[in-house]
Structure 1
Amino acid sequence: MSKATRALGLAAGLGAAAYAARALSRRHPVGNPSVPEPRKPVDIDRYLGKWFEIARYEQAFEKGCMASTAEYRRLPDGGIKVINTCRKPDLQPRVVTGKARVVDSETNAKLKVSFLGPLFTGDYWVLDHCDDYEWAIVGEPSGRFLWLLSRKQVLPWERAEALYDRAEALGYDTGLLVRTVQP
């Protein structure tokens, strides 16, 4: 291996470490120190499709996002294609595509999601959902991430409030939620 190749590898490694340290320093506070296990099994085929974000714990990668959606599609290998879309204030859509796989086949409520290949994976837990799959509450074990999702783009305030109440009953600080602007 040449000196130039080693130097490039070292520079890339240091750059990745700096990026990770920066991302960790801007982490969202813990909104639930005791994240519960998912409440009920998930029928993946019913969960697939388009979801509209009603509210979220804002993270650096979603800062300023409006009209956020998540779409899930079955892949031929059994995995799930994840397509996250949002619009920033310039109204240009930002689309990020990833892949998810079920890691708890007993309930199908725990998944691993990757948007940058196998190097960066995250937990995705469907903590609760209604029986007709019209809403879902999604989080992960650290209590730093939370999404309230709906099949409808805009919920009447009473339904949204009930979703907030459900998240609070699961132990989440709903005061940390950012309401997602949907057109």
Structure 2
Amino acid sequence: MSAVYLLLLLPLVSTQTFHWGGCPAPKVQPNFNLPQYLGRWYEIEKLPSTYERGKCIEANYAFRKDGTIQVLTSRLRKDKVRVAEGTAVVQDQREPSRLGVSFSYFTPYSPYLVLTTDYTSLSVVYSCTSILNIFHYDYAWILGRSRFLPWETVRYAEELLTNEGIDLYRMKPTDQTGCKDT
């Protein structure tokens, strides 16, 4: 049985950030104001993921008429702009900074936890999926309202993630040079 688990884990290990045990439980932004959060965010740093390769990565969040949130992500890869559309929902109105995001009708919502944001320059987001509390894979993003943030701001965001028990060993900057605004 353990050999089967190992075979299933191999693709995750090479493309995601994988850890043994359950997910950490970081604190999220109190008194989160979703309407203020909406709009364009640029990816400054991230833990690696298979679906976010390329440069000039950004996400734009907007309300839909049905109350869900449209998530449009774009990236430049191999000289082509690639766009993906997803849906975000507030899963518990008591904690609106804990959202769920899905980019397919066939997949469940993944956690999208806003750990901190000032709404005007910085957002720190975390997502983690646990598999039977045996292992988990996680994502973390440092986002900015501009393509570049001061070094001190990025360092603050990294320290916040580390203090919440999130391993940043594989964290890497996103290339935002030479990007065109749409």
Equivalent residue, structure 2, for 1:147:
141
1:78 equivalent in alignment to 2:72: no
Equivalent residue, structure 2, for 1:165:
159
Partner residue of 1:41 out of 17, 21, 31: 31
d(CA) in 2 for partners of 1:116 and 1:126?
21
- Structure 1, unmatched stretches of 5+, are 1-19
Identity rate of aligned residues, in percent? 25
Q: What count of residue pairs does the alignment treat as equivalent?
A: 161
Contact 1:66 1:87 in 2 (8 A): yes
More helix by share: 1
Equivalent residue, structure 1, for 2:98:
110
Q: Provide the TM-score with structure 2 as the length reference.
A: 0.78
- Of 150-159 and 31-40, deviating more is 31-40
Pick the structure with greater CA Rg: 1
1:136 equivalent in alignment to 2:128: no
Q: Deviations over 1:31-70 (max 9, x none)?
A: 995231314232110000000111001111113x211101
Cα 1:21/1:34, change in 2 over 3 Å: closer
The residue matched to 1:86 in structure 2 has which SS?
Answer: strand
More strand by share: 2
Look up the equivalent residue of 2:125 and give its one-letter code.
V
Contact 1:35 1:141 in 2 (8 A): no
How far the C-alpha of 1:172 sits from its partner, in A, is 2.0
Equivalent residue, structure 1, for 2:3:
none
- Structure 2, unmatched stretches of 5+, are 1-7, 130-136, 178-182
Moved beyond 3 Å, runs of 4+? 20-27, 30-33
Q: Deviations over 1:78-98 (max 9, x none)?
A: 11000011112x231111001
